[in-house]
Amino acid sequence: MLSPSARFSALALLAIVAPAAIVAVLGYVSIRQWEVSSELLYREQARDMATMAAEKVEMTLRRAEDAFLDRLQVALRSGTPSERAVDALIADSPLIRRLYLVNPRGELLYPRAWREGDLAVFGPLVSGAALRRLERDGKRGVISNNLVCLALLTQRGGQPVVAAYLRDPDTMRREILETTLGTLESSTNIAVLDHEGRTVYSRAPIGDARRVLSVGFREALPDWRLAVYQTSGASPRQAVRRQVMFFTGALGVLVAVIVAGIVMTWRLMRRETEMARLKSDFVANVSHDLKTPLSVIRMFGETLEMGRVADEGRRQEYYRVITREGERLSRLIDNVLDFSRIEGGRQTYDMTPTAVEPLIRATLEAFGYPLAQQGFKVEVSVAADLPEVTMDADAVGQALANLIDNAIKYSGDDRALTIDARIAEGRLVIAVSDRGLGIAPEEQAKIFEKFYRVGRSDTQGRRGSGVGLALVRHIVEAHGGTIAVESAPGDGSRFSLRLPLGGT
């Protein structure tokens, strides 16, 4: 017959592996469908992006050319501009490499003569037939591999003038294509191809990248196209296949982890049960510790409120009791909050030079009422030559307060408390001693663990949060020091804080 742990392991394996297998099958089918749809979606998105980019290029190019032609039109309507004035306009427009102005009679207005070879290229374009075509089809035209352009302007008196200009290819790439395509928020490689399919511009080296699609420009670049490329291994289909491989591998790892995890689960369950019990005890003990000073504050407050204390001296004593219990309550709350910050790694310390004796006496004064009420004999011995020591005074005071509180809580019939401070082996040593119940040797290393409480019957009736000594150890170690305990059952305990004189 199977043991309870074996039955649990078998059921856990079945409960986890069966759903995992179902999820694996469904995931595989879904990924296959995703492989096809992602490819279609990618192409649609790439086409939309390419169309938008082409429109942006045309708009930028038109804006640059319109700025030049507008200035040229203003100069023509003001009269026949001088050659120097037109030269200045061209120099101020890097996109325009060369310019010719021809009237309807075919006479060259600018420059004085055709450059070598340009008459054969531009001559037929600025003939009377070309002028009539511009008047009929529109005032702009782009021909000859998108670099030679025509524009119909007018002189003073309304006489038409054909402006034939040559675009500068370097400026096109640098100020039009790079400016518009290089700043697109897309990782896709985009290239501009001329009428023969040669690359005019690309955002990145094309190499062995595959062309996904291309779209044409409109009137401004009628012979060129904008192409979208996909680098090797970056297609959606290949990405999905990598996901399939990753998913399969992850499933195998998951099954292996599940098998190993089931073996450890029952151990973790036992540990979690123990931790849950410890945390429950912690909440109960903290609640009790908080309730005690609250009850005292409420009792003395109500007594004062009802006017039952006529003597001024007693009223002052009641006020002091309320103040001390409030300090005790604050100390308890600080313990819980500091422990929470330590657990979350958020605790910080403010190191400043601090006088030792005033710190000890101020901490001890907060316990004046319970010490006097329970009849403790208190001795304080502080070496006269103690220097100021770099420390977080509040934190060290809190650690000292926790030790004093434990000495009170675990005192026996011989109620005595001794605090001494001295320099030993180059360190400040502050020791808190009592003549209480003491701690067994085998438990002395465990008492500084969180939630741990000594398991003897004579300590169980004394409530405590279980974090006080853990907090003390963290504070001391954060200062670069150590804490030691000397104790034996029935002979009391002596806790020693050893802190470096210069801080950490």
Establish if 476 belongs to a structural domain: yes
User: Which residues, other chains included, contact 33 with Cβ-Cβ below 8 Å and sequence gap of 6+?
Assistant: none
Domain with residue 389: its CATH number is 3.30.565.10
Phi-psi sector, 438: left (phi>0), alpha (psi -120 to 50), beta: left
Could you tell me whether strands 160-167 and 482-487 are parallel, antiparallel, or unpaired per DSSP bridges? unpaired
Q: Domain ends where: 170, 192, 217?
A: 170
How does DSSP classify residue 126? G
**Over residues 375-401, mean pLDDT:** 91
Whole-number average pLDDT of the chain: 81
Most confident by average pLDDT, 5-14, 22-31, 48-57, 205-214: 48-57
pLDDT category at 279 given cuts 50, 70, 90 is low
Establish if 207 belongs to a structural domain: no
How far apart CA 365 and CA 372 sit, in angstroms, is 11
Q: Domain ends where: 170, 191, 206?
A: 170
How far apart CA 268 and CA 254 sit, in angstroms, is 19
The vertex-56 CA angle with 52 and 59, nearest 5°, equals 135
* Helix (H), strand (E), coil (C) string for 440-452: CHHHCCCCCCCCC
Establish if 415 belongs to a structural domain: yes
**CA distances, 398 to each of 293, 339, 402, 492 (Å):** 17, 12, 6, 22
- pLDDT per residue as tens digits for the range 219-232: 888 889 999 998 76
Establish if 107 belongs to a structural domain: yes
Q: Which domain holds residue 77?
A: 4-170
Which of 474, 475, 482, 478 lies closest to 499 in space, CA to CA? 482
- pLDDT per residue as tens digits for the range 326-377: 776 776 777 677 667 777 777 788 899 999 999 999 999 888 878 888 899 9
How far apart CA 363 and CA 472 sit, in angstroms, is 14
Predicted confidence at residue 304, as pLDDT, reads: 80
Q: Which two tokens stand for residue 225?
A: 């196209």
Predicted confidence at residue 457, as pLDDT, reads: 44
Establish if 90 belongs to a structural domain: yes
Q: Domain ends where: 147, 170, 193?
A: 170
Domain with residue 73: its CATH number is 3.30.450
Establish if 34 belongs to a structural domain: yes
Most confident by average pLDDT, 49-53, 269-273, 278-282: 49-53
Establish if 244 belongs to a structural domain: no
Establish if 268 belongs to a structural domain: no
User: Based on the structure, what is the number of domains in the chain?
Assistant: 2
